[in-house]
Amino acid sequence: MKKSKLKKSLFYGSGVALLIIFAFTFYLHSLPNHFMPPAMDGSYEQEYVHGKIVKVGSPDEGGGMDLKVEIYAGEEKGKIRDVRYDTFNNFNEFKEGDVITVYKSVNTATGDASYDAADYYHMNGVGWMFAVFALVAVVVAGRKGVRAIVSVLAALGFFYFFFLKLIAIGFSPVWGAMIFVVIVTLISIPLIHGLNRKSLASVIAIFFGYAASLVIVYLFKGLAALGSAPGEDFRLLGTVFGGIDLGEILLASLFLGAVGALIDTAISISSAIFETLQEAPNTTFKKVYKIGMNVGKDILGSMINTLLFAYIASSLPFFVLLSLSQESGDNMFYNLMNMDFIALELTRTFVGAVSLVLLIPLVSATSAYYLIKGKAVLQGR
């Protein structure tokens, strides 16, 4: 009976908390942005539209070509427009039937419009990939697959409508990132794994892990001498919005890079401990803690490799360019490691790795406590 009442209390409490969070998110969007884009030349208006190529012209002397494109969106939907495709520094090979993004520029004085091919239109493919992911998740994981899909959508929604809006109104990016990951953690873990001792142990350990990770971020940023803009994207942001704190954006970026690995590791260890207790309910705290540590050590190597390969993959074109442009020598590796954005990716990897190492004993201890000694705190699964 107590178990049922407690679960009901947690359920209704979670519902009220979600309503408050949603209400606060709507309130955020009523506030004006603190950072405004620079004033644009009023002589032209620009927008992106998309459409299907119905005819491809022959290349001209300049290397470009003219395309006939049926516009799929906006005021010109259904109309055929002449679109210029400049092949300089653009390696796409468009053909009839391709759906592309078109950059439209209108002279406000004369009303004349020009159209330039920008890139392939990606949204249709992204939608199909999500549909495949959703189908596979539901078929393989059933209800938990559905919950995982809802969790992903919720995380993306809060990132766009909550976290980015906090930055736009001038809130600290670091504290905004912390609030964002706390909300996502409190939503995703109970949603996927239920309101139980396993989820409670994981959430508590993850919160300690977040605090440790934030300390590591501040320490490693200084050790790596990253400055405030270790990459073209940071410099572009600082150029367009001069008043934004790039240092805090960098810290938030390093912190968010470690969050996913922390959540995954905590759940994996806690789940392994819980399943062990199902088989041997009378085991001791010491044995359970040892099981958690052993599982964590096994996860550690593979998870660090996951972080490393993710960051390597994001910079692979540059690595290939560098290796083909320079002869091998003693200075090549040194110069590579000393580049700002490479140092940034390595720092992200080490922040995640050290955070994971610290999280393993934390989640092992909290899981052992709540699944062995903490039955008085929360009874039942």
What are the tens digits of pLDDT across the range 235-256? 888 888 878 888 899 999 989 9
Within 10 angstroms of residue 246's Cβ, the number of other Cβ atoms is: 18
Token pair in block for residue 102: 């078109």
Residue carrying structure tokens 């002397």: 61
Within 10 angstroms of residue 147's Cβ, the number of other Cβ atoms is: 18
Question: Any idea how long the chain is?
Answer: 381
Rounded Cα–Cα distance for residues 265 and 272 (Å): 11
Which residue in 306, 320, 291 sits closest to 352, CA to CA? Answer: 306
User: What's at 219, amino acid-wise?
Assistant: L
- Which part of the chain is CATH 2.40.50.1010? 44-121
The pLDDT confidence band at residue 54, using thresholds 50, 70 and 90, is: very high
pTM score, whole prediction? 0.82
Helix H or strand E encompassing 323: helix 316-325
Token pair in block for residue 145: 């697959």
- Which part of the chain is CATH 1.20.1640? 2-28+141-376
- Letter string b/e over residues 108-130, b meaning 16 or more CB atoms within 10 A of that residue's CB: eeeeeeebbbbeebeeeeeeeee
For range 26-32, the mean pLDDT: 85
Tens digit of pLDDT for each residue in 296-348?
888 887 777 877 787 788 778 777 777 776 655 556 666 777 778 788 888 88
Give the architecture (CATH level 2) of 44-121.
Beta Barrel (2.40)
Tens digit of pLDDT for each residue in 92-119?
888 899 999 999 988 887 888 889 998 8
Rounded Cα–Cα distance for residues 370 and 205 (Å): 11
User: What's at 169, amino acid-wise?
Assistant: I
Class of 2-28+141-376 in CATH: mainly alpha
Largest CA distance in the chain: 83
